[in-house]
Amino acid sequence: MMEADNDSMKPAIRISGLNKFYGAKQVLKDINLSIYPGQVIGYIGRTAPEKVLRLKFYAD
């Protein structure tokens, strides 16, 4: 991950300690992500609908 050059630079998107369960089954555990202004990222998946579904999944 990119480190901020300036202490005042804050992430545009921050996910911290994300956990996701389906019933009793934990499918994500303690996920952390910071995306800073101007940072370019890629999101890889087999199909566009799959990627959209995953983004919706993270947002819930």
DSSP assignment of 5-57 equals SSTT---SEEEEEEEEEETTEEEEEEEEEEE-TT-------SSHHHHHHHHHH
Q: Give pLDDT, residue 36.
A: 93
pLDDT value for 60: 64
Taking the whole predicted model, whether its pTM rises above 0.85 is answered as no
User: 43, 51 in Cβ contact below 8 A?
Assistant: yes
Residues of the chain with pLDDT under 70: 1-8, 58-60
